[in-house]
């Protein structure tokens, strides 16, 4: 189970695909979205471009989007660090793609599926948890729930909805 709306998000430091350590807490980022995603899940891939569009649109507004792959790459080679790096090199990501090799962050955050979206306010408290929008098949929805949550966090108000049901592939836990 993930932490509650209003709770302080567990901190982390994870490497990106260039092995640069990236910390959750960043004084330059007033609002942060953390998205657990991966390389092989059809739901994550169906929503992928919408999420990158959010990163491109909200980056200039000071929002930081961190995308994390926590899947067990031993059993799911499509989710290896090499495969992550290849996607980044191909220009598929508009924000850092972090590797949670130990799965400690996914466990600490209670992430369950890919994609699983968390939005934090300027205090690092959870203001939204759920899916990017209501339907992975409908690109016109444009990750509306995530965008609404980011707008609300930027304006220091509570998003509505603050919680939706994440839809996607289960995170592939290590045995």
Partner 1 sequence: MPPSVELLYWDGCPSHPAALAELRAALEEIGHPGAPVALSEISSEAQAAQLGFVGSPTIRIDGIDPLPPPPGEPTALTCRLYRRRDGRHSPTPDPADLRDALRRLLPPPTQES
- Measured from the CB atom, the residue of 14 and 73 that comes closer to partner 1 is 73
Instruction: Report yes or no: 114 and 103 within 8 Å, Cβ to Cβ.
Output: no
The number of residues that bind partner 1 (CB under 8 A) is 18
Q: Is 75 in the site for partner 1 (CB under 8 A)?
A: yes
Q: Is 42 in the site for partner 1 (CB under 8 A)?
A: yes
Q: ∠ CA(140), CA(151), CA(147), 5° rounding? A: 25
- Measured from the CB atom, the residue of 50 and 147 that comes closer to partner 1 is 50
| Rounded Cα distance, 141 and 162, in Å | 17
When binding is defined by CB under 8 A, the residue of 14, 31, 33, 46 that contacts partner 1 is 46
Residue 136 beta carbon to partner 1: minimum distance, rounded to whole angstroms: 8
Q: What are the E-state strand segments in 5-152?
A: 13-15, 21-23, 31-37, 63-69, 97-99, 113-114, 116-120, 126-130
Q: Is 172 in the site for partner 1 (CB under 8 A)?
A: yes
Q: Is 111 in the site for partner 1 (CB under 8 A)?
A: no
Residue 63 beta carbon to partner 1: minimum distance, rounded to whole angstroms: 25
Q: Is 117 in the site for partner 1 (CB under 8 A)?
A: no
List of residues 6+ apart from 142 with CB closer than 8 A = 50, 53, 133
Instruction: Report yes or no: 88 and 142 within 8 Å, Cβ to Cβ.
Output: no
Among the residues of 9-168, which ranges form H helices? Answer: 42-58, 81-89, 104-109, 144-154
When binding is defined by CB under 8 A, the residue of 9, 33, 34, 41 that contacts partner 1 is 41
- Measured from the CB atom, the residue of 49 and 57 that comes closer to partner 1 is 49
Which residues bind to partner 1, rule: CB under 8 A?
40-43, 45-46, 48, 75-77, 136-137, 139, 167-170, 172
């Amino acid at each position: 189970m993930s932490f509650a709306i209003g709770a302080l998000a567990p901190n982390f430091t994870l490497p990106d695909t260039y092995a640069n350590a990236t910390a959750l807490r960043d004084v330059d980022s007033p609002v942060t979205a953390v998205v657990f995603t991966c390389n092989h899940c059809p739901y994550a891939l169906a929503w992928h471009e919408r999420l990158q569009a959010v990163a491109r649109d909200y980056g200039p507004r000071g929002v930081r989007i961190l995308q994390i792959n926590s899947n067990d790459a031993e059993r799911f080679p499509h989710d290896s660090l090499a495969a992550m790096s290849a996607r980044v090199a191909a220009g598929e990501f508009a924000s850092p793609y972090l590797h949670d090799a130990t799965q400690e962050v996914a466990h600490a955050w209670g992430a369950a599926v890919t994609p699983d979206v968390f939005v934090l306010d300027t205090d690092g408290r959870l203001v939204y948890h759920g899916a990017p929008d209501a339907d992975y098949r409908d690109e016109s929805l444009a990750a509306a729930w995530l965008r609404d949550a980011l707008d609300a966090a930027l304006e220091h108000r509570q998003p509505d909805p603050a919680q939706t049901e994440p839809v996607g592939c289960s995170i592939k836990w290590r045995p």
